[in-house]
Chains A and B, each alone.
Chain A
Amino acid sequence: KQEVTQIPAALSVPEGENLVLNCSFTDSAIYNLQWFRQDPGKGLTSLLLIQSSQREQTSGRLNASLDKSSGRSTLYIAASQPGDSATYLCAVHMDSNYQLIWGAGTKLIIKP
């Protein structure tokens, strides 16, 4: 059974710092992996999607990497801003169906 773990559960850093959020999964037979952002009490915004054949994806100040063999993905946020404060979730899409399996998220606070 696939399990997705995110570390740390919470992170507070000063504005301007570069930071890394971690996501690990137990079953490497994934179809793809996605990083999402969730603002308090709101829905989800998809940030980056990495197909199983890819190593990384970039969008603006965000860079997500994927190492299937070790069951890890990282989300790198460069030059963090207060507006980046949110909960970041990773989810994996297994091969056999469309279900996403979610991590519990990392709550990020960027202090001005």
Chain B
Amino acid sequence: GAVVSQHPSRVICKSGTSVKIECRSLDFQATTMFWYRQFPKQSLMLMATSNEGSKATYEQGVEKDKFLINHASLTLSTLTVTSAHPEDSSFYICSARDRGDRGGIGYTFGSGTRLTVV
């Protein structure tokens, strides 16, 4: 089945540095990728939607200059957390929608990245 590879699975960084998270669709083309953030004991919150070749659409309250999303190809989307601070520590998950999906499940999720900013 469809697989989304997300790396790294865990990252610890110092406050003020930037961290890049990658999501790759391995056997399908993802025209749309979603980036979610999940704080402990809370539900997933959509951060942004990225479409291949165009600018990402950010949800209200998400700083686009802080969370840079690049969806340069149909198989790769990246999320860069710039100038990370401890409050950015969270679990980040990407999700991709298969270009060939016809109203089916359509969503394939990455395994997530646990970001800890110290």
Contact = CB atoms under 8 A, between A and B. Distances in A.
* Chain A binding surface, main DSSP class: strand
A33 B47 CA distance: 20
A104 to B, nearest CB: 4
A89 B111 contact: no
Interface in B92-116: 93, 95, 97, 103-107, 109-112, 114
A83 interface: no
Interface of A: 4, 34, 36, 41-46, 49, 51, 89, 91, 98-100, 102-105
Contacts of A99: 34, 46, 49
Contacts of B54: none
A25 B46 CA distance: 17
A41 B114 contact: yes
A43 B93 contact: yes
